[in-house]
Amino acid sequence: MQKEIVVSGIRPTGNLHLGNYFGAMRNYVRMQEEYNCYFFVADWHSLTTHPDTKELRNSVLDALAENIAAGLDPEKVCLYLQSSIPEIAELYLYLNMMAYKGELEKTATFKDKVRLQPDNANAGLLTYPVLMTADILIHRALYVPVGKDQEQHLEMARNFAQRFNHRYGELFPEPQAFNFGAALIKVPSLDGAGKMSKSENQLATLYLADDDELIRKKVMKAKTDAGPTETNSEMPGYIQNIFQLMSLVSEDSTVQKFRDDFNAASIRYGDMKKALAEDMVKFITPIREKAQAIRSDEAYLQKVIKYGAEKARESARKTIEQTRELIGLNYF
């Protein structure tokens, strides 16, 4: 039986963090045996917000190393760079003819980014969901393992796929966000405001490259309060976040102990944060150390990039040929 096709990407805009790990990378690793997986580093996408490319090469290699350290096997999945596949840019061009200014302007991430960079509201930022659709459709993927922040983009990708199929003929499946049937994940930042992110909220984000002391420092600074004064109180959002983070890396019994303490109004947040910090250190340290070792072998990473580009282009070429055929751009 043919394996179902999966695509997902990560922007090389900084060090990868726990949000990237639990929203995306963990599923990449879980899917690599059962699915036909294409995972990429989205270097074109990073240019929409990071026009200065001095750090780009480093960030691309870091992202590759961190993904491999997290368990991705470049022999099992196709691991490549977005800019290695010119066919994606061609598909992006066709899809742009089916994307309307009004719907793009309404996209939440576009509005957010324009607020953050009012002097650089470029067309690439506006058409980000179109390029993301091209990334997915170029391999005709059905599943896209992503975090909750990408839900709206996936809905747009389905719309664009439908429009293409309707206008030129059936070619693309309608891609679905994927988390093994569970709700998509949003890993909250430690200050209780928003999600962990590569370039915003850095002191409230735990990066896979953070050293043990920095992890402890960040966790101990997480927002708490004096604790509940009555049993079975309602839990404030920022405390729920700490429980959510704990449930990602700690034993169930540890989470339950602090939940019981909270309900008994006897919780000591200092103790809870100390336990969380130690479990975070235990979780992040092996990934960080492995990533450092892989990152120091540039020759190996170059090989991964080259091998990935060859495999990804083979699949992309087939899609572009059929796309041109359906549109009527087949002159010889």
Catalytic amino acids?
A: 113, 195, 198
CA 131/CA 228 separation, integer angstroms: 47
Please report, to the nearest 10 degrees, the dihedral formed by the alpha carbons of residues 101, 147, 149, 313 taken in order. Answer: -20
CB 147 → ligand AQP: shortest distance, Å? 2
Using the minimum distance from each CB to ligand AQP, give the nearer residue, 70 or 320: 70
Minimum CB separation of residue 139 from ligand AQP in Å reads: 16
Return residues touching ligand AQP (CB under 6 A): 10-11, 13, 19-20, 22-24, 49, 146-147, 149-150, 185-187, 195-200
Nearer Cβ to ligand AQP (98/214): 214
Please say which residue, 150 or 224, places its beta carbon nearer to ligand AQP: 150
Per residue, the 3-state secondary structure of 109-161, as one string, reads HHHHHHHHCHHHCCHHHHCHHHHHHHHHHCCCCCEEECCHHHHHHHHHHHHHH
Taking the C-alpha atoms of residue 111 and residue 185, their distance in angstroms, rounded to an integer, is 22
- How many helices and strands (H and E) does the chain possess? 15, 5
| Rounded Cα gap, residues 146 and 82, in angstroms | 17
DSSP β-bridge partners for residue 85: none
User: Least distance in Å: CB of 169 to ligand AQP?
Assistant: 30
Query: How far apart are the C-alpha atoms of 187 and 239, rounded to whole Å?
Result: 13
Q: Least distance in Å: CB of 50 to ligand AQP?
A: 7
DSSP letters spanning 297-324: -HHHHHHHHHHHHHHHHHHHHHHHHHHH
Alpha-carbon gap, residue 280 to 72, rounded angstroms: 21
Least Å distance between CB 323 and ligand AQP?
A: 25
Whole-number Å distance between alpha carbons of 209 and 284: 8
Pick between residue 10 and residue 267 the one whose CB is nearest to ligand AQP: 10
